[in-house]
């Protein structure tokens, strides 16, 4: 009997110790969550303040780059003044927020901005942004969606998926089957090109035009048969940029004249590069008019931190 009582006490002490440990662990977890949330909140506020300062320092008509990296896993969301926002301080104003969820339905940190930054939802990791001050608003293009792992950066891109649409008559279906003169690109590339158009107009270039975009295999084969030079025409059996719908041949003014050297380099080609780079495009080194976004070449250029390759 005595032995049983001793055993019962030991069991009770053990259960009590387990209960105390559980309470300590739960309390510790709550404290950690509170500290973590506080740190993330401070990071979010700091990111917003730094981003607003960054915006104010971009001259009108110019583009600059910045990184979004904290708090990792949150979302950068921008709203125009007419959209519903999660924070009362932004009602009736253009606004940017750092939110724990894409929908900004919890843990939202917001601040008003002096002019529209558009409607953007960007996952925060190690994301490089190209931001252009268009005068009346800002436009944003992502150049890197990061995966940072042991010093290596892998660029992820989903920009080369979608259906072709006309760049000339936005919203219409691509009609290459009946009109080979249609200038088409993947649906996801159209807003990227529109950013380049907006930047061009902001610096006085009103005749920016696409001379070639999405191509069918038949179109690429015809070009190859006409000029089988892999420096300037992609063999149709390969993964050709124009076949992805993510490559555009672009020009303005005298750069649209036929017969110019593809290696031409002058004030206008430099200006064309500035326009297309502002939206996130990269250029193929052998042709002053050929630009890509979301392709293998775009990934290579981005990894090498160059705009031409």
**CATH fold group of domain 164-303:** Muramoyl-pentapeptide Carboxypeptidase; domain 2 (3.30.1380)
pLDDT for 215: 87
pLDDT tens per residue, range 242-260:
988 889 999 999 999 988 9
Burial of 284: CB neighbours in 10 Å, binned 0-12, 13-18, 19+: buried
Tell me if residue 209 falls in helix, strand or coil.
strand
Residue 113 has pLDDT above 60, yes or no: yes
At 16, the pLDDT band (50, 70, 90 cuts) reads: low
pLDDT tens per residue, range 136-159:
888 887 654 433 233 333 444 556
pTM recorded for the entire structure: 0.53
Q: Which residue has the higher pLDDT, 81 or 29?
A: 81
Q: Which of 273, 274, 253, 268 is CA-nearest to residue 209?
A: 253
Q: What are phi and psi of 17, to 5 degrees?
A: -65, -40
Residue 27 has pLDDT above 50, yes or no: no
- The share of the chain scoring above pLDDT 70, in percent, equals 78
CA separation for the pair 261, 151 (Å, rounded):
40
CB count within 10 Å of CB 106 equals: 9
DSSP class of residue 16 equals: H
What is 133-164 written as a DSSP string? Answer: E-SS-EEEEEEE---EETTEEPPP--TT-S-E
Lowest mean pLDDT among 10-14, 29-33, 200-204: 29-33
pLDDT for 34: 40
Q: Which residue has the higher pLDDT, 118 or 289?
A: 289
Using alpha carbons only, how large is the chain's radius of gyration in Å?
27
Lowest mean pLDDT among 159-163, 230-234, 273-277: 159-163
Q: Where are the domains of the chain?
A: 39-153, 164-303
């Amino acid at each position: 009997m005595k032995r049983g009582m001793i055993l019962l006490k030991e069991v009770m002490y053990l259960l009590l110790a387990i209960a105390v440990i559980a309470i300590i662990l739960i309390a510790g977890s709550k404290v950690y969550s509170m500290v973590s949330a506080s740190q993330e909140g401070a990071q979010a506020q700091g990111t917003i303040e730094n981003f607003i300062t960054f915006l104010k320092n971009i001259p009108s008509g110019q583009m600059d780059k910045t990184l979004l990296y904290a708090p990792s896993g949150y979302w950068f969301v921008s709203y125009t003044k007419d959209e519903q926002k999660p924070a009362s301080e932004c009602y009736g104003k253009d606004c940017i927020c750092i939110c724990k969820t894409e929908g900004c339905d919890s843990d939202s940190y917001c601040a008003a901005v002096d002019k529209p930054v558009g409607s953007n939802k960007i996952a925060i990791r190690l994301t490089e942004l190209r931001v252009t001050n268009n005068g009346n608003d800002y436009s944003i293009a992502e150049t890197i969606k990061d995966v940072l792992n042991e010093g290596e950066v892998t660029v992820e891109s989903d920009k080369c998926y979608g259906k072709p649409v006309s760049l000339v008559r936005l919203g219409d279906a691509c009609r290459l089957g009946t009109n080979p003169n249609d200038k088409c690109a993947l649906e996801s590339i159209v807003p990227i090109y529109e950013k380049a158009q907006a930047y061009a107009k902001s610096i006085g270039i009103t005749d920016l035009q696409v001379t070639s975009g999405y191509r069918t295999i038949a179109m690429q084969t015809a070009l190859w048969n006409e000029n089988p030079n892999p420096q300037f025409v992609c063999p149709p059996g390969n993964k050709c940029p124009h076949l992805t719908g993510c490559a555009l041949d672009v020009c303005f003014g005298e750069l649209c004249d036929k017969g110019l050297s593809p290696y031409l380099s002058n004030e206008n080609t430099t200006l064309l590069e500035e326009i297309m780079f502002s939206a996130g495009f990269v250029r193929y080194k052998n042709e002053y008019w050929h630009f890509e976004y979301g392709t293998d070449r775009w990934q290579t250029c981005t990894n090498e931190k160059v705009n031409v390759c």
